[in-house]
Chain A
């Protein structure tokens, strides 16, 4: 039962008994498998290859473990619509992920998907302590990425007043925060600190703001960062988790206990697996988060490998929600680098650079941090092809590279040409990625 004073958006669902929840999950999983078996060639082929017949072979939730994983590349290779489980005329919204692969990962939503999505985001906002009385400033990007619009519709569903300020222009964000009396800030944790820095610089006193909540997501962060955000902005900072391929924001969110994010288990099935072997992890162990959607119609995924590292927390939560929790995302288990909430695979940047001169340069992706601001740098070793006598030509080349990379990932990098052989090497190979941000601890 939920304790006094805890506000739960859909208590009849979020506090469901374990047995009822498992039955509901089983029903929804079976329907999902029946549907993808019929409508998605990728899954039909996957099932045939291992001789899996959904109606015969999924008698129990555990039987799901017989199925292979779906990977980021699988989705990327299905660009743009191959993995959709409904015809395009049923799709009312399309989003795509940040450009970690050659092809972005495109996802779609039916009307009902959007309705569920808004409802789930409303749940996580409510669990973070927000109500219809809040003025919510959403600093995620509005556009193809799921962050902005995903939070937006959920915040409206909650009945709050929503300020879709989108990303960047920190000074303006702060002015809006002051003038519009923002009570809740939705941001990446690092952006919360950038805002705090900027306020300091501008001489804005955070105590004089109406701000009470920071709802953070989009990148791995730490308890130390949480404390810093809470102390500097005088807010309660909560964590939530979303991933475009699964839905976007709304997959899991922290309650005011601030100790792990409740997974919306009536809509998602989570597993934690060993990233190397794919075997299920011991309860509580750190592993890769794998998610199966239970209600998504346009873009269901079966055993999707998120690449995010987390632990499953089985212990009941004092808030009364029965959904199990995942720990904060403790990192990535692949070569994905998260900068300003955008996922980047350093290897793919090489593909882009190669387009410029038709030759793959020796390069290194370096992330630095000035204050709380992440900066993406690409260090490239000069070769004859990349070297010009004339300053102007040299600059044109660098500009072209910067432009190409910026177009691809959505962040403008700083490009540095360095002397041949000067990049750090391990066993003769240049490290593709170096993180010079101050260590989180």
Chain B
């Protein structure tokens, strides 16, 4: 579904992605793990059209994303749940969701129905539908960010560090939602620093280090991998999330 081939991109003056190749097949959960500054977000931004790659290609089905505007990319069926959630704190929950339906704004009936369905599904958000988003808890904000992305009716969901700053129990809740989204037929690329949680739900994973992929394989293989354990799971660290 998504094929990234030998991608080079810059983050400011920094050569952040150095020949990165990866692919995500339809219906998969693929995770990209890496430390801070490894280039994860630059990759996300390249896929979403927010950063123009210097070299290489990003194919989504038949289209070359590096030639498309961010809006056109959303129209192709890719939605981003950005790092740090980036919700509109001074708008209500409903208004936030409405923003997510930007590309379907003319289909008022349609996005209204989508919103009702999502609020039905996430009662916590329904209770707070008129509340300002900034007053939500971290977990609720993350839920809202996911719902906002879903309002664009994506087939492919990009999640940039959804576990960031959340308590272990809440992380679990968010990851359960991700699994559910896949069961509904969506394809997921999950960018994470929380390698343990990500690898537990991912079919496959890639390890990004200083802009280069150094390991790839099935999620459970990587979880058991000594290098991954040492670098990302922390020897003897308490499990943050157990499936």
B226 adjacent to A27 (CB under 8 Å)? no
A54 adjacent to B23 (CB under 8 Å)? no
Known: A26-B21, A27-B22. A90 touches B226 (CB 8 A): yes
A55 adjacent to B5 (CB under 8 Å)? no
Q: What distance in Å separates the Cβ of B215 from its nearest Cβ neighbour in chain A? A: 6
Is B19 on the interface with A (CB-CB < 8 A)?
yes
Q: A31: which B residues are within 8 A, CB to CB?
A: 213-216
Tell me, in angstroms, the Cα distance from A86 to B228 when the chains sit together. Answer: 13
- Quick one: CB contact mask for B2-22 with A, threshold 8 Å, 1 for yes? 010110100000000011111
Among the stretches B90-98, B139-147, B190-198, B217-225, the one at the interface with A is: B217-225
A27 adjacent to B217 (CB under 8 Å)? no
Most buried by B among A20, A34, A86, A90: A34
Tell me, in angstroms, the Cα distance from A52 to B28 when the chains sit together. Answer: 34
Tell me, in angstroms, the Cα distance from A55 to B20 when the chains sit together. Answer: 8
Specify which of B8, B19, B23 is in contact with A23 (CB 8 Å cutoff).
Answer: B23
A58 adjacent to B19 (CB under 8 Å)? yes
Is A10 on the interface with B (CB-CB < 8 A)?
no
- Quick one: CB contact mask for A22-44 with B, threshold 8 Å, 1 for yes? 01101110110011001000000
Q: What distance in Å separates the Cβ of B227 from its nearest Cβ neighbour in chain A? A: 8
Q: Which residue of B lies closest to A110 (CB)?
A: B226
Known: A59-B55, A112-B225. A30 touches B23 (CB 8 A): no
Q: A110: which B residues are within 8 A, CB to CB?
A: 226
Most buried by A among B8, B20, B21, B216: B21
Specify which of A23, A30, A86 is in contact with B3 (CB 8 Å cutoff).
Answer: A23
Is A65 on the interface with B (CB-CB < 8 A)?
no
B226 adjacent to A23 (CB under 8 Å)? no
Q: A20: which B residues are within 8 A, CB to CB?
A: 23
Most buried by A among B8, B22, B225, B226: B226
Q: Which residue of B lies closest to A25 (CB)?
A: B21
B3 adjacent to A55 (CB under 8 Å)? no
Q: B84: which A residues are within 8 A, CB to CB?
A: none
A112 adjacent to B213 (CB under 8 Å)? no
Is B56 on the interface with A (CB-CB < 8 A)?
yes
A-B contacts counted at CB < 8 A amount to 61
Specify which of B23, B211, B221, B225 is in contact with A27 (CB 8 Å cutoff).
Answer: B23
Known: A27-B216, A34-B214. A56 touches B224 (CB 8 A): no
Is A334 on the interface with B (CB-CB < 8 A)?
no
A30 adjacent to B226 (CB under 8 Å)? no
B6 adjacent to A59 (CB under 8 Å)? yes
Q: B211: which A residues are within 8 A, CB to CB?
A: 55
- Quick one: CB contact mask for A74-88 with B, threshold 8 Å, 1 for yes? 000000000000100
Q: B3: which A residues are within 8 A, CB to CB?
A: 23
Q: A90: which B residues are within 8 A, CB to CB?
A: 226-227
A60 adjacent to B213 (CB under 8 Å)? no
Most buried by A among B19, B56, B221: B19
Q: What distance in Å separates the Cβ of B78 from its nearest Cβ neighbour in chain A? A: 19
Specify which of A34, A59, A115, A295 is in contact with B213 (CB 8 Å cutoff).
Answer: A34
Q: A56: which B residues are within 8 A, CB to CB?
A: 8, 18-19
Tell me, in angstroms, the Cα distance from A60 to B212 when the chains sit together. Answer: 15
Tell me, in angstroms, the Cα distance from A62 to B166 when the chains sit together. Answer: 45
A60 adjacent to B6 (CB under 8 Å)? yes
Q: What distance in Å separates the Cβ of B57 from its nearest Cβ neighbour in chain A? A: 10
Tell me, in angstroms, the Cα distance from A110 to B221 when the chains sit together. Answer: 12
Known: A55-B18, A56-B18, A56-B19. A26 touches B215 (CB 8 A): no
Q: B55: which A residues are within 8 A, CB to CB?
A: 59
Tell me, in angstroms, the Cα distance from A115 to B220 when the chains sit together. Answer: 13
Known: A23-B3, A30-B19, A30-B21. A55 touches B212 (CB 8 A): yes
Q: What distance in Å separates the Cβ of A31 from its nearest Cβ neighbour in chain B? A: 5
Known: A59-B55, A60-B6, A90-B226. A27 touches B213 (CB 8 A): yes
Is A369 on the interface with B (CB-CB < 8 A)?
no
Tell me, in angstroms, the Cα distance from A393 to B23 when the chains sit together. Answer: 71
A59 adjacent to B18 (CB under 8 Å)? no
Q: A34: which B residues are within 8 A, CB to CB?
A: 212-214
Is A93 on the interface with B (CB-CB < 8 A)?
no
Q: Which residue of B lies closest to A20 (CB)?
A: B23
Q: Which residue of B lies closest to A28 (CB)?
A: B216
Tell me, in angstroms, the Cα distance from A81 to B216 when the chains sit together. Answer: 24
Known: A23-B3, A59-B6. A112 touches B217 (CB 8 A): yes
Known: A23-B3, A26-B6. A55 touches B19 (CB 8 A): yes
Most buried by B among A35, A58, A59: A59
Tell me, in angstroms, the Cα distance from A34 to B208 when the chains sit together. Answer: 11
Most buried by B among A30, A58, A295: A30
B214 adjacent to A26 (CB under 8 Å)? no
A54 adjacent to B19 (CB under 8 Å)? yes
Specify which of B23, B56, B216, B221 is in contact with A59 (CB 8 Å cutoff).
Answer: B56
Which B residues have a C-beta under 8 Å from some C-beta of A?
Answer: 3, 5-6, 8, 18-23, 55-56, 206, 211-217, 221, 224-227
Closest 5 CB pairs of A and B: A55-B18, A59-B6, A55-B19, A27-B21, A34-B212
Question: What are 16 A-B contacts with C-beta separation under 8 Å?
Answer: A23-B5, A23-B21, A24-B23, A27-B23, A27-B216, A30-B6, A30-B212, A31-B214, A55-B19, A55-B211, A56-B18, A56-B19, A58-B6, A59-B5, A111-B224, A112-B224
Which A residues have a C-beta under 8 Å from some C-beta of B?
Answer: 20, 23-24, 26-28, 30-31, 34-35, 38, 54-56, 58-60, 86, 90, 110-112, 115, 295
Q: With contacts A30-B212, A59-B6 known, what are 10 further pairs, Cβ within 8 A?
A: A23-B5, A24-B23, A54-B212, A55-B18, A56-B18, A58-B6, A58-B19, A90-B226, A111-B226, A112-B224
